Every structure is written in structure tokens, then in C-alpha cells.
Amino acid sequence: MNPFRVEIPQADVDDLRRRLTDVRWPAALPDTGWTRGVPLDHLRELADYWRTGFDWRAREAELNRYPQFTTEIDGQRIHFLHVRSDRPDAKPLLVTHGYPSSVAEFLTLIGPLVDPAEGQAFHVVAPSLAGYGFSTPLSGTGWTMGRTARAWVELMRRLGYERYGVHGGDIGGGVSGMVAGLDPEHVTGAHVVTDPFTAAAVATFIPGLADRLDGDDPVDKLILDRIERFRTEDSGYLAIQNTRPQTMGCGLVDSPVMQLAWIAEKFEEWTDLPIDRDQLLTTVSLYWFTGAGASAAHTLYDQAHSADWGAPPVVPQGFAVFGADETVRRLVPAPADAHWTEFPRGRHFPAMEAPAELAADLRTFFGPLT
């Protein structure tokens, strides 16, 4: 376990600003809004703020408030935050981010978990997925969710935790479930966050699911409409990364505006509570400075071409649904006795959109588990 601090060379910061100054912008088509991607006026404003107003060193210092480490597992450097609580009753909790995100997603969640005003406290372990953030560069191909789950089990073993909970959303939710399936002797429970649109997107990859839905039922009809929209309108970002990550990666690591547009589009589409520009640009900056745009795409390719989905969890399960509606119950295979909480607002990034609500649900779920 090697102590780690985020220390981006000033030359890299200066190079970013130079590239943002020398952008070659495409011509804008009038009256298209968000229908064809990020509007140029919105993207220009973000890029200008990234160049002239965003304080990377302040965000770097915020990341460095928390103890960080790297270790090598299965030939891959893994970066992680390990923040221990002073509370004697604190329970270990392994939290895993998704796409397009990073451990910066948890910066506003860690405090309420480690030092809550009341209720259960946690020791938080937050790894960067292989190929993301400072878990770069990729050591090779094959970093699927199953392989990641096995690495996380080893990480928690090295940290000496005999009992621990797991939490995540998006890719992190899949990894967390697989960790629980792989290590039920040590995992106390698995907690996953989702939302109606993420659930529908995942449903597009479940063979035969659409055939089992009744188009005359209003809830099933809503699900079918969302599945069709994802297939025809919203899945382009995934299709190209699942098939041509190397080609896409050339643009993501060479053009900061390409990387900015790639992530800003998803923050716009996948949230309904505000995430400020500094939060967005912290995530984008981590992708830019580490070249994670390309390596993250390679891991998405590997998962798309893998049959390794791990074993199902056999530990207590909890679900927090943000922006909840009646469709999610039909799409999420939750056991009858699962903990289930629905929140009216928030979507794909609840740790950033609604950290207080998410922290409270984690305390409620894991508090009684031993």
C-alpha cells in the first residue's frame, strides 16, 4: 500500500489552458438545442470557465484532504481513498463509482458517512475503477466488472476488513453485486442506486425482456418506450465505445473540448438536480489529466464482449431509486425482503445530486447489519 497524493504537474495545467485557448470550433446549426448533442454556446461557456475560472489546485487540495493510496492487484495499479471514522462503532463500506464518473463523485458524501451528526458511521474505501482516474494506465485488456469485483475482494482483504458493506451505482452497482456474490462470508450487505432511465437502459441488454412486456399495460408501455428511445436515440456514446474504443480514445485524450463535451452531455441528460460547474469540471479534469477517456472506453468494450457476470449476491440487498416511478419495480430483480427506498428527485449521480438523502439511506440499510 503506497500513500498517494494528487499532484498534477503545472506544465500539464498550462498545456490544458493552451489547448482550450486554441480550440477549433465547428459551425453551429441554428435552433437545434440539445437534439444533436451539446449546444455550442453551452460548451463554449463551459470551456471558457474551465480555462479562466476553474481552480484545479483548489479541487486538487479537496481531493488531498482524504487519505489516498495505490496498490497493485492482478497486475494493475489501483488507486483508492481510505477514510477512517473516529467513531468506535463505524462499519467498513466499499463504494464504487460508475461511468462517466470518478472517486470525486463521493467528495460530498464521505463527510456525512465518516462523521454523521447521528446514526451509523462508516470507514469509507472508494477505489478508482481500473482505467479511470489514477488507476491508470491500463495494464492490459480484460478489466470487466467480474475481474474488478475480484480485485475489490482482494483490496478489502489487504486492508484487513473481516466484515464490510458494498455500495455503488451504474458500473459500481454491478461490481458491488458481484463482490457480494464472490465474498458472502465477509460482505454484510449490498446497496445499489438506480433510476428509471438507467434501469431501462440496462433492460435493453437483458435477452427477451421486451418480449415479456405487455404493450397494452401502461407501465410496460412506458418501459418499452424508454427501451426504444435508448436503442435509437441515447445509446450512441455506448455503441462506439463498445465497438471502437481505440478510435474514440484518440479524440478524448487529444482534445479537452471533446472530453468535456463527452461528459457534459451525460451530466445534462442524466441529472435532474443541479450539479455545479466545479463538480462537473473536477470529473472532466480527472479524465483529462490521466487520459482515462480512452482507457475507460476500453473497459466498456471488454465488458460488452464478456460473459463474466459473476455470482448473484446472497447477502441482504438494499435499493435506493432516485427520480422514482412505477417502472423500476418491474425492472430491478429485487428480492421480496430487500430494503427499498424511493426518492422523487435525483437520477444517475445521487452522491453528487442528493448526498444527504443517499447517506441517510446507507445508514438506515447498513445500521442493523453485522
73-102: per-residue pLDDT in tens? 999 999 999 999 999 999 999 999 999 999
Q: Establish whether 170 is a catalytic residue.
A: yes
**According to the model, what pLDDT value does residue 211 have?**
85
Catalytic residue among 301, 302, 339, 361: 301
Show pLDDT as tens, one digit a residue, over the chain (370 residues).
999 999 999 999 999 999 999 999 999 899 999 999 999 999 999 999 999 999 999 999 999 999 999 999 999 999 999 999 999 999 999 999 999 999 999 999 999 999 999 999 999 999 999 999 999 999 999 999 999 999 999 999 999 999 999 999 999 999 999 999 999 999 999 999 999 999 999 999 888 888 889 999 999 999 999 999 999 999 999 999 999 999 999 999 999 999 999 999 999 999 999 999 999 999 999 999 999 999 999 999 999 999 887 778 899 999 999 999 999 999 998 999 999 999 999 999 999 999 999 999 999 999 999 9
pTM to 2 decimal places: 0.97
**According to the model, what pLDDT value does residue 83 have?**
98
**According to the model, what pLDDT value does residue 5 have?**
98
**According to the model, what pLDDT value does residue 205 have?**
87
**According to the model, what pLDDT value does residue 151 have?**
98
**According to the model, what pLDDT value does residue 208 have?**
82
Q: Establish whether 66 is a catalytic residue.
A: no
Cα–Cα distance for residue pair 250/302, rounded to 1 Å? 18
**According to the model, what pLDDT value does residue 332 have?**
92
Residues contacting 193, CB < 8 A, separation 6+: 167, 168, 169, 173, 319, 320, 321, 322, 350, 358
Q: Establish whether 49 is a catalytic residue.
A: no
Cα 361–chain centre separation: 18
Number of domains present in the structure of the chain = 1
Q: Around 4, how many Cα atoms within 13 Å sit in the side-chain half-sphere?
A: 21
How many C-beta neighbours within 10 Å does residue 33 have? 8
Cα–Cα distance for residue pair 368/364, rounded to 1 Å? 8
Catalytic residue among 79, 123, 132, 170: 170
**According to the model, what pLDDT value does residue 161 have?**
98
**According to the model, what pLDDT value does residue 247 have?**
97
**Whether the Cβ atoms of residue 190 and residue 165 lie closer than 8 Å to each other:** yes
**According to the model, what pLDDT value does residue 312 have?**
82
Residue owning grid cell 470518478: 102
**Whether the Cβ atoms of residue 356 and residue 112 lie closer than 8 Å to each other:** yes
User: What CATH number did the domain enclosing 111 receive?
Assistant: 3.40.50.1820
Q: Which three cell numbers stand for residue 42?
A: 453551452
- Residue 4: beta bridge partners? 68
Cα–Cα distance for residue pair 200/118, rounded to 1 Å? 35
Catalytic residue among 79, 123, 191, 348: 348
Which structural domain, as residue segments, surrounds residue 210?
2-366
